Amino acid sequence: MKITIKDVATEAGVSIATVSRVLNKKNRVKQETKLRVQQAIHKLNFQPDHTARSMIMKETRTVGLIVPNLSNEYWALLAEVIQDKLWEHGYSLIVCSTNKSADKEMAFVKSFTVRRVDGVVFGSSTLFGSSRHDEQLANMLKSLPTVSIDPSISGLNSVVGDNLQGATDAVEHLIGLGHRRIAYIGGPTVSKQRELGYRNAMMNHELPVLEELIKRGDDNTIAFSSFGYHSMLSLLESGEKFTAVFCGNDLIAIGAIRALEDRRIQVPADISVIGYDDINIAALYKPSLTTVRQPMREMGSAAVDMLLELIQCPDGNNVPKKIVYQNQLVQRESSGPAR
């Protein structure tokens, strides 16, 4: 049988109200009774029921997190940072990974409302369109204190990385190195902003954007690295000339490099390759990857700050904010001067 506040009250010879008072250290209790109660608590090893408390206080001290998956380092790190910071403020984190299923996404949010979480952090790479489904999801999200990471959903607070700028910088770095024919391998579920950055840089320098040099793919189930591998192969086989390739993320870049090596093409001597995200392995890979860093720790931390503020003053001004983090080019071995 679980120990309740009643047992403690009996043990200490006081009323449950008094026990509650020492538990919440709000109203002052006579030092002597307080001590008696504390002893009783200790003796019975009483743990106040969080569930009952939640019901009255109308707060669960729980927040929900939605991410596409955890096997992606990017999201795993985010989850870790968020959990860590939330914990410092007394909150627990329910983590949900969608595996890119829109249905699950919806079901998770629904479960968050039912569970009365105090807030939610929404990270998702499913492209937010204006479909019936997305609209419905956005509405559910809006009824909860929510901050969105990465997709910036109109009407919601969000923290995002400047993918457009990061991608532009990456491609301009390539152009600065003398490259003119630059390919782009985007991959499924990669931010459209990155492709846009590629186009932006090319246009800025009046370089033609050749659709033959662009690979996108839409198969969610394929691993990024193998997508990169096969895209590179098909690029090579197309016969189109190019001296550099900008990839939608690091895993794609690694796959692409593998394909080049298999064909005895040197990186960066023959072809330069750039990735995105700066995952752990980027610095360790051989050749180490030139890439663009998303400041995940900062983004996660900022998201928590925003969320906590939303939770604490629900009536605060509700003009949605967006925090945009700069993405930084990290030059390493995989990019070099054009032949």
Residues that bind its own copies (CB under 8 A): 47-52, 54-55, 60, 62, 69-71, 73, 76-77, 79-80, 83-84, 87, 92-97, 99, 104, 110-111, 113-116, 225, 251, 254-255, 258, 261, 280-281, 284-286
CB under 5 to 8 A by kind: which of DNA, its own copies, none does 200 bind? none
φ, ψ for residue 289, nearest 5 deg: -85, 130
Q: Which does 93 bind (CB under 5 to 8 A by kind): DNA, its own copies, none?
A: its own copies
Q: Indicate which of its own copies, DNA, none lies near residue 158 (CB less than 5 to 8 Å, by partner kind).
A: none
Closest to its own copies by CB, 101 or 152: 101
Based on the shown chain and the rule CB under 7 A, indicate whether residue 44 belongs to the binding site for DNA. no
Partner whose binding site includes residue 79, from its own copies, DNA, none (CB under 5 to 8 Å by kind): its own copies
Question: Residue 204 or 280: which CB sits closer to its own copies?
Answer: 280
Token pair 């954007």: residue: 209
Q: Least CB distance from residue 99 to its own copies, whole Å?
A: 7
199 interface partner picked from DNA, its own copies, none, CB below 5 to 8 A per type? none
- Nearer to its own copies among residue 198 and residue 224 (C-beta): 224
Rule CB under 7 A: say whether 6 interacts with DNA.
yes
R_g of the chain computed on alpha carbons: 26
The answer to whether 28 contacts DNA (rule: CB under 7 A) is yes
The contacts of residue 267 (CB under 8 Å, 6+ apart) are 257, 260, 261, 273, 287, 334
**Shortest reach from residue 85's CB to DNA, in Å:** 25
Please report where in the chains the tokens 């990471």 appear, as a residue. 149
Pick 193 or 290: Cβ nearer its own copies: 290
Q: What DSSP element (H or E) covers 123?
A: strand 119-123
Query: Cis omega before residue 287 (within 30°)?
Result: yes
- Residue 19, amino acid: V
Out of its own copies, DNA, none, what residue 263 binds, judged by CB under 5 to 8 A for its kind, is none
CB-neighbour burial class of residue 229 (10 A; exposed 0-12, middle 13-18, buried 19+): buried
Residue from 25, 45, 56, 143 binding DNA (CB under 7 A):
56
25 binds DNA (CB under 7 A): no
Report the residue number, 70 or 265, with the smaller CB distance to its own copies.
70
Q: According to CB under 7 A, which one of 11, 21, 235, 310 is a site residue for DNA?
A: 21
Cα separation, 230 vs 225, whole angstroms:
9
Question: How would DSSP label each residue in 95-153?
Answer: EEE-TT-HHHHHHHHHHHHHTT-SEEEEE--S-----HHHHHHHHHHHTS-EEEESS--
Nearest-angstrom CA–CA distance, 223 and 254: 12
Q: 26 is in the binding site of which of DNA, its own copies, none (Cβ under 5 to 8 A by kind)? A: DNA
What's the min distance (Å) between Cβ of 137 and its own copies? 15
Span between the terminal Cα atoms of the chain, in Å: 77
b/e per residue 245-281 (b: at least 16 CB within 10 A): bbbbbbbbbbbbbbbbeeeeeebbeebbbbbbbbbee
